[in-house]
Structure 1
């Protein structure tokens, strides 16, 4: 641990994050089960529902009440809290809203605690419709439903299982052909998408996950923390460790540099 952690107890912060996830699940899952929400479009044409907004409001209120000295950044309500704090909670109330609104159970609430120098150091990914929750904090390990997890030790692309999310962002930079070529070199390729592919990397079920281009910090922060604490690597498409970038690749670490090289345009 560095001096950055001298004023904080990550075990207590993790307990708080898990309590927040319980609160978020109670709101979002109730809407998902009933499918009785209003749907609208944001300026970027992405979907947003009452469930997104109400879940984030509950989490922000939770943090504001119990961690008033911390900063907050959420997908729906933006920045709040103490802007001068080195500690920031980064929240995506529902990652996978497109799935959520169609009744597909692959969606989750993402909660991360980020330090302004160290980056994401704690993450919770709670997917109640999948009956799955992943969490991790630096120095405390990474877990899935209470079971400690770690990335795989697969050492070659030819042996690797890979998840790829194609989108217009990859096409725009001319990257689609390289994605296809990498898939063809792998043992098995699928498209699990969103948070799920990265959590599968963290638990050793998948070896490489390549996300869409066009991500935001709240898409990346929690998954980065969990992947890294499970022993893997998480970076943008150029290999830069920065959760604020608009692309994300996670791997078991052994394969990361080769993946980055393979995707260079």
Structure 2
């Protein structure tokens, strides 16, 4: 069993730094990244500060930030993944948001911290050690059926080819509206996944899988008891097209609704895990949520590490 407890303190330190910057600064100048997509001065300031802190505290690790990309040792089995402000549009408009930081080992999220600066909540998880909000253990909710479920869906697309991407999302919205209790669109993948973990939401469906958005939330949701899979029901990995987190008993029923939307996975050039497909979503055999969840955990390695107060993190690993 891999132990990452020492690194949780480093992650919390980094997210606390991000939270302090977000709370005490206004968005400042906002730059356009793409059609209706933006980055604020605070996004950049948070990513700079967290990147610098982690480079000192864990110098042997890789780093991937949404705004400025990769740095550190990209050959390392361990890599941090950061969205400095997950929900920049929310932040710019004064809507509460979060900062999210995940640790990925050999392509699998193993540690996550999500902080909601203006809501006073922090979510943490380490693989095989449970999920917590502010130190209290949390578990996902299990409604009796979709008609009792509140389900979040990811934002509608903006930017290049948004019309084609949104065809899928609108079809799914229509299908879900006929089946579920309520639909929510919160504008933050990290909040969606954290609230599935806590039981505020019963599922989250995203036709995207950008690691800075999902890495922390994936491990938190899994450790709270939810199953996290791709939109076709296969185990969720860094190569997945989408991200679905759901209470295990509802997984098959929700996947049927996604399939009923007759959606075609669309390659998003900004999403490292995207792939193209010429076929509509189909589920040719029953989905076993327990099997899907367990099969995402077969890449375990024993990783031995030491973190000093000088930030000297050393690691060696061997396959279990």
Moved >3 Å (runs of 4+): 168-175, 243-246
* TM score, norm. by length of structure 2: 0.74
> In the aligned structure 1, how far is the partner of 2:52 from the partner of 2:101?
14
**What are the within-5 Å matches in structure 2 for residues 24-63 of structure 1?**
24-31=18-25, 35=26, 37-43=28-34, 45-63=36-54
Please tell me whether residue 249 in structure 1 is matched to residue 244 in structure 2. Answer: yes
Residues 248/70 of structure 1: CA separation in 2 closer, same or farther (3 Å cut): same
Deviations 1:198-231 (A, max 9, x none): 21110012111123x3552211111101101111
* Maintained 8 Å contact 2:203/2:246: yes
Q: Return 5+ residue gaps in structure 1 as ranges.
A: none
* Maintained 8 Å contact 1:224/1:243: no
Of 163, 182, 193 in structure 1, the residue corresponding to residue 152 of structure 2 is: 163
Match of 1:85 in 2: 76
**Matched residue of 1:27: which SS?**
helix
**Matched residue of 2:8: which SS?**
helix
Report how far residue 71 of structure 1 moved. Answer: 0.7
**Matched residue of 1:21: which SS?**
helix
Match of 1:144 in 2: 133
> In the aligned structure 1, how far is the partner of 2:138 from the partner of 2:212?
23
> In the aligned structure 2, how far is the partner of 1:192 from the partner of 1:43?
21
Deviations 1:136-166 (A, max 9, x none): 1113221112221011122421222222345
> In the aligned structure 2, how far is the partner of 1:109 from the partner of 1:228?
19
**What are the within-5 Å matches in structure 2 for residues 167-206 of structure 1?**
167-168=156-157, 172-194=166-188, 195-206=190-201
Structure number with greater Rg is 2
Residues 74/15 of structure 1: CA separation in 2 closer, same or farther (3 Å cut): same
* Maintained 8 Å contact 1:236/1:248: yes
Please tell me whether residue 224 in structure 1 is matched to residue 214 in structure 2. Answer: no
More deviation in 131-140 or 168-177? Answer: 168-177
Residues 166/138 of structure 1: CA separation in 2 closer, same or farther (3 Å cut): closer
Task: Count the aligned residue pairs.
Answer: 253
Please provide the CA RMSD for this pair: 2.0
Of 69, 73, 78 in structure 1, the residue corresponding to residue 64 of structure 2 is: 73
* Maintained 8 Å contact 1:216/1:246: no
* TM score, norm. by length of structure 1: 0.88
**Matched residue of 1:228: which SS?**
helix
